[in-house]
A = this chain, B = another copy of it.
Amino acid sequence: MKKQIAVLPGDGIGKEVTKGAVDVLQAIGDRFGHQFEFAYGHIGGVAYEVTGSPLPDETVELCKQSDAVLLGAVGGPKYDTLPVHLRPERGLLKIRKELDLYANLRPTTFYASLADSSPLRKEIIQDVDMLMVRELTGGLYFGKPSERRTVDEKEAVVDTLFYKREEMLRVIELAFQLADKRGKKVTSVDKANVLESSRMWREVAEEVAKRYPEVKLEHMLVDNAAMQLIKNPKSFDVVVTENLFGDILSDEASVLTGSLGMLPSSSLSENGPYLYEPIHGSAPDIEGKNIANPLAAILSAAMMLRVSFGLEEEAAAVEKAVDEVLNAGLRTKDILSEGKKAVSTSEMVAEVKACI
């Protein structure tokens, strides 16, 4: 198989972790006889520095011509003083829009070998297996107006939460499809007791549920969901919600198992290419120190193999390699615990490759 992968390292540790993922993909290519071509593009703060824009047109073009996109991370305090439209995160928001990435998928996986890193008690977090599906193109993120105003001669401000029904439909439909292949339960999160958009969301969820008689639909208010994720994370299978609730809840979910540095994500569109990225941020404080955890980026590459290229065996080989290095007791600093062996980013990558 021959595939072109757009690699957008971005800022901070993005460069180090995507390099690790690329190395592992190359090892997979060698072993299974695939040809992966890597084409690099700029995004985020570094893109602004080089091109004057956090997402130059060349990068968008590159992604559109590729079979999949691998992203590192964007952002850093040195860009905080830039005008809003030039900040690194604008690059991220823009690429979502440009590629019409409407669904962000984040599995929360429990690693028995990392149980000690979880802030939660073991009996609460053990065997959690949840998939968060976040709508990515609508809501407060892109709604207009978003502006300062003068109301009754006083300073005021307005942001707009806007959704088309069809935007809700496609992401909720996806959540049901995914649940049908997993635990057969969808938790749809909204704030229907306050928001009109949430009431429409609930209607759409009910409508989709009719087409999936084997999948159980549960509605949950966002404030309650924020509680249940901590009290009873095992009760979730697939969670689906709108953009900003998804931003908050998926970050909340990501720290439950204590393995944030291990968690991959994918963002899907209707016609591809899909985008894969680790959940963690750019961590500028540890940039260039060769201590970042490359496993989330490597597992994002595994997701790419499975979802974009249909290479199940290859994806499983990556995941198995990661399990093996963890079982061998190797740990980057973020997941280090007593009795385990500390390794650098590059050592971790080399060990994973050695298992492939």
Contacts and interface: CB of A to CB of B under 8 A. Distances in A.
Contacts of A355: none
A254 interface: yes
Interface in A281-335: none
Q: List the number of copies, as a whole number.
A: 2
A112 interface: no
Interface stretch (A15-23, A118-126, A268-276): A118-126
Interface stretch (A34-42, A161-169, A344-352): A161-169
Contacts of A155: 164-166, 200
A87 interface: yes
A342 interface: no
A151 B199 CA distance: 18
A248 B29 CA distance: 45
A252 to B, nearest CB: 4
A129 interface: no
A50 interface: no
Given A165-B155, A197-B157, A251 B224 contact: yes
A252 B255 contact: no
18 contacts: A89-B194, A93-B194, A121-B121, A140-B194, A141-B194, A146-B195, A154-B164, A154-B165, A156-B163, A159-B196, A222-B247, A223-B251, A226-B226, A226-B251, A227-B252, A227-B255, A231-B255, A245-B248
Interface of A: 84, 87, 89, 93, 118-121, 124, 140-141, 143, 146-148, 151, 154-166, 191, 193-197, 199-200, 222-224, 226-227, 230-231, 244-245, 247-249, 251-252, 254-256, 260
Given A141-B194, A146-B195, A155-B200, 20 more contacts: A84-B199, A87-B193, A93-B194, A119-B231, A120-B120, A121-B121, A140-B161, A147-B196, A156-B165, A157-B162, A157-B163, A158-B162, A191-B247, A222-B247, A224-B251, A226-B226, A226-B248, A226-B252, A227-B252, A230-B256
